[in-house]
Amino acid sequence: MSQFAPLRLAVKALDIAASHLPARLVRAPASDTGATLSPLLHWMFHLRHLKNGSANLGAATPAQARRQLRADVLPLSRGYAVREVRELTIPGPAGALQARHYRPAAAGELPVLLVFLHGGGWVTGDLDTHDDVCRLLCREAGMQVLAVDYRLAPEHPFPAPVDDAEAAVRWAQENAARFGVAPTAIAVGGDSAGGNLATVTAQRLAATGSALLAQLLIYPATDFSTPRDSQRRFGTGFILSQADRDWFEHHYLGGNADLKRHVQASPLLNAQPGVLAPALVVTSGFDILRDEGEAYAQHLQATGTLVEHVRCEHLGHGFINLAGAHRDSELATIRIARQWRRLCNRALALGTTAAVAPATETVKGDAKPAAAKKARAAAPKKAKATPAPNAAGNSQPAAATGAVKPKRVKKSTSA
């Protein structure tokens, strides 16, 4: 048993207890849509404040912030089982980059390699802080994942992390045969700052005519330049504060205000990104990055890119790192992984330029897949989808794919 197992089990017990308490005792905040923050996430913010003396980074050095993230995340990690995990070293533009390769159960494995870029504000985060995330995506999406440890600011400020991300994806394309996939079956994804790097990488590759299969963008940062309503609503009292974001921005952009409008720092400002690889954009109901992530989803859709958007209404920033101890976060991450598999399966069957109904939905953190179901059901079956492995590693049916005339799907909230 891991040395952290007792703490993780204690947090899980607290999560169960919180779910049975009356709302008047939990006193969790409500969002502008009327959704209530998951009680455990509300309490964890205050526990973090008590533990660290402050809930925000404040005067912390980058080294202190990195240690704090590891101390916050690693004790809650579960170590989800996958078939194989191995350490790799891949070439980067300024030297070797550490990487970690995950392979799922053989039954129902999709011939796709997801290059995953971890979050952490371009300053913190590493292969270990996002090990659980990659394991769960690998297991539930039934595809290989290659996590990349790119260089961090302030030692390596913008655009060094972007350069590393692009180099990693291009290496994966050039070495696709080593992973048993086609060069056109390489996808890119990430969360938060990693989501930002994934968007910029997709735009860079598209500009040079290099095709990606798909993009997985989990609460991505997309615009440094424009204050939005979610920043005002959720700027204090939550895991990621506006003060934290300003701290990350200062280290990443080196205090250069002009870089806020650089399209490779704020990809939402790229007015002509072209038609990019199909994207699954995930946002959280209680997150300062919510509005810019959703604005980017709309921007991609307006430029002709296939976009599926999911908002996890009752969750906050960083929830995928809490899956090992928080049931709502785990269920939401599993749901995201399975929807991501369906999108990749569709892209494989139809090609990335196929016309598929863009989908927008709003869901609870613990909701089962429901929204956009009508649009998928209306699509004619053209190829049988590869079954997705369930939690036990067995195969289960996945949605069939097919092309339909693009149309807007109304937002809905699943129970």
The first and second tokens of residue 364, run together, are 């609870």
Average confidence (pLDDT) over 317-326: 94
CB atoms within 10 A of CB 55: 21
- Which of residues 57 and 385 earns the better pLDDT score? 57
| Cα 227 from Cα 261, distance rounded (Å) | 13
Name the strand (E) or helix (H) holding 103. strand 95-103
191 in active site: no
Quote the strand ranges of 352-392, DSSP E: 359-363, 388-389
> Among the options 251, 309, 317, 326, which is catalytic?
317
**What would you report as the CA-atom Rg of the chain, rounded to the nearest whole angstrom?**
20
Q: Which fold has domain 73-396?
A: Rossmann fold (3.40.50)
- Tell me how far apart the 2 most distant CA atoms of the chain are, in Å: 57
Strands 84-92 and 95-103: antiparallel
Give residue for tokens 């960083």: 318
**Helix, strand, or coil here: 400?**
coil
> What SS3 state is found at 272?
coil
Backbone angle region of 287, left / alpha / beta, with phi > 0 → left and psi within -120 to 50 → alpha: beta
Condensed to tens digits (0 to 9), the pLDDT of residues 78-132 reads 999 999 999 999 999 999 999 999 999 988 999 999 999 999 999 999 999 999 9
**Of 223, 287, 291, 366, which is the active-site residue?**
287
- The verdict on pTM exceeding 0.85 is no
pLDDT of residue 276 exceeding 60, the answer is: yes
More confident residue, 247 or 38: 247
Residue entry with tokens 């390699």 = 113
- Tell me the C-alpha distance between 215 and 210, whole Å: 14
* 3-state DSSP assignment of residue 258: helix
Residue 138 carries which DSSP code?
H
∠ CA 269-273-279, rounded to 5°: 100
pLDDT tens, residue by residue, 5-15: 555 556 666 65
- The alpha carbon torsion through 141, 7, 314, 281 (nearest 10 deg) reads -30
Q: Hey, what are 129's tokens?
A: 């802080």
Considering the chain, what is the average pLDDT of its residues? Answer: 83
Angle at Cα 372 formed by Cα 116 and Cα 355, nearest 5°? Answer: 75
What are the percentages of helix, strand and coil residues in the chain, rounded to 5?
40, 15, 40
Structure tokens at 12: 């899980």
Q: Is 317 a catalytic residue?
A: yes
Pairing of strands 395-396, 388-389: antiparallel
Cα gap 247→236, rounded to integer Å? 14
The average pLDDT across 61-81 equals 94
The distance from CA 261 to its chain's CA centroid, rounded to whole angstroms, is 23
Q: Which of 192, 230, 284, 329 is catalytic?
A: 192
Q: How far apart are CA 297 and CA 15, in angstroms?
A: 32
CA 278 to chain centroid: 15
Where exactly are the structural domains of the chain?
Answer: 73-396
- 49 flagged as catalytic: no
pLDDT in tens, 216-274: 999 999 999 999 999 999 998 888 999 999 999 999 999 999 999 999 999 999 998 98
Give pLDDT, residue 367.
38
